Structure 1
């Protein structure tokens, strides 16, 4: 056997090892690539959801001339990052913003600007296992305080003003200040969702089931439903939330009753949907919600919203109480209402 023959034999014997080594390297590179892509995708998804959220610096706009914050008792948890457990008040607005083609197609506001179509104060009890949601009729006559304007200066105090005019003239900061003036309750956070976002959220959850007590036929909201149980898609659910002329006496109080049913049904739908087991579904819902959210700067990141959501894991739909601020017809206008005292003040006092 020559030296060349020996070298050839060694080469033949080495080829299986070379092939195995090459295969292992290829597998390792593939796994590493997949890991990098997975991390990049997760990073992009977080960045995308984070960048979806719009925010307003309510605290800077309003300063310290506000009701005091609730006293929070620190959690006794020994974990490194305990979830918040103190009581919390959140002003939640549904706006009829006309921004974007989707909102316009769904019946958003006119050229004079968006209005707060729905206003709810969400009070979370200490421990976050019970909640009270108080609806404020948008037709309530209030004293609208002087509000700062983003362009500089401020609005004048307005007496006997419609409650939902606050958002129209001064945006979120004025809406918060007007609610705090009306209730003497500090709003710890602010969350606003527009028509498009609400519709997408309902669709992402697979619709919502609601039972109505009477037939509905409202030409304004374009909703027609027989009394009974219905599974609604996003557009139908939005129409239900806006319906007022097709039920009862056509007042805002009838619409609030429908909105409260809808909120309870949505909470039950969310509770029955295990989003954590389906990352794709979770992302789709999160994308739908964050794309149409405006919050205060204390909730303007995915981390902040997730922390709030996780702190509510012990809160069930059955422990959410839905009420409406007590009102009576306004002496000056039977089509408007004013706070019914002292019942209204007693309600707000219970949330401080």
Structure 2
């Protein structure tokens, strides 16, 4: 089996390694946004506004344009564990919509049988060969979405870890300012003290933020000792608060809030899928396990990557496959030509 990544000795000699300390987090924010949408649709559905709920779902639906590794409709019908790839972009504020690289990539699994939800963060700079674009190797994992959209991102993650991805959801962080304002602002305790883009924050001091302040809070990166890891942690913190405020009845009744959700969320989960998720899979949110794929920061030919040891990749593959009730299998390798994903059930 070809090891991944396999680099020339000259490139290896140029590497500078630095181990990044693991970050633990309690919440998975992208899922919370999906859950907010589910609650909203289910609320509209129960309120006999079936047509409005359908129209809202139609606006956020966007096909991945690929053949999935598993039959997703059968999975939902039978209430079997499913996986969702959640991605965060940051493009709306500069005039583009759902283009560019993904700042955040997380694999979420829902297992209603075990009443358990598992969330795994993937390093955006993980060193991979993007499926369908191997001529650009070495590439970063977050470039998969930029190269070929959600379908390419799904295939690359599948091949990287040898796991099936059943659905995806993409949140545009560029629209965060409007989303925060739509829920009346948020109150958070900053994780560190800093000033950015005209706003100042003090660590652990409870602060009420409007959209502009929240956007500045999550955008700062270079002054954070944890770099991208720290920024992602702040993004999760803010999105969690927005999602929590969004689940309140007063927000669910606001037309402005749902208009913003429609602008900033794209997914291949259909209206009927969402009804099934609301009815059968909410029980899985009662218990949550969170983890992340840990890599080492490497400099290759002047470009920064995250190289993940095979043992670490295998650990995460085992975790995700187990959460999906799948048999143990060798972790994936994006350098191989085969794109077959092992979907054997236990």
State the TM bucket, normalised to the shorter chain. 0.5 to 0.7
SS in 2 for 1:139: coil
Counterpart in the other structure of 2:230: 254
**Cα distance change of structure 1 residues 279 and 167 upon mapping to structure 2, 3 Å threshold:** closer
SS in 1 for 2:87: strand
Equivalent residues in 2 for 1:38-187, closer than 5 Å = 42=49, 45-46=52-53, 48-58=55-65, 61=66, 63=67, 66=69, 85-97=79-91, 103=92, 106-107=93-94, 113-127=99-113, 129-146=115-132, 155-187=133-165
After superposition, the CA RMSD in angstroms is 3.5
Equivalent residues in 2 for 1:184-195, closer than 5 Å = 184-195=162-173
Residues 218 and 246 in structure 1, CA contact (< 8 A), matched pair in contact too: no
**Cα distance change of structure 1 residues 44 and 188 upon mapping to structure 2, 3 Å threshold:** closer
**Cα distance change of structure 1 residues 86 and 199 upon mapping to structure 2, 3 Å threshold:** farther
**Cα distance change of structure 1 residues 334 and 167 upon mapping to structure 2, 3 Å threshold:** closer
Q: CA deviation at 1:238?
A: 3.7
CA distance in 2, matches of 1:242, 1:137: 18
Counterpart in the other structure of 1:286: 258
The normalised TM-score by structure 1 is 0.64
For structure 2, which runs of at least 5 residues remain unmatched after alignment? 1-47, 322-346
**Cα distance change of structure 1 residues 133 and 210 upon mapping to structure 2, 3 Å threshold:** farther
Q: Deviations over 1:144-173 (max 9, x none)?
A: 121xxxxxxxx4443220111111111111
The normalised TM-score by structure 2 is 0.65
SS in 2 for 1:307: helix
Larger radius of gyration: 1
Q: Which has the higher contact order (CA 8 A, sep 6+)?
A: 2
**Cα distance change of structure 1 residues 324 and 69 upon mapping to structure 2, 3 Å threshold:** farther
Match for 1:350 among 299, 304, 319?
319
Q: Deviations over 1:100-130 (max 9, x none)?
A: xxx2xx24669xx522122111122334743
For structure 1, which runs of at least 5 residues remain unmatched after alignment? 1-40, 75-82, 98-102, 147-154
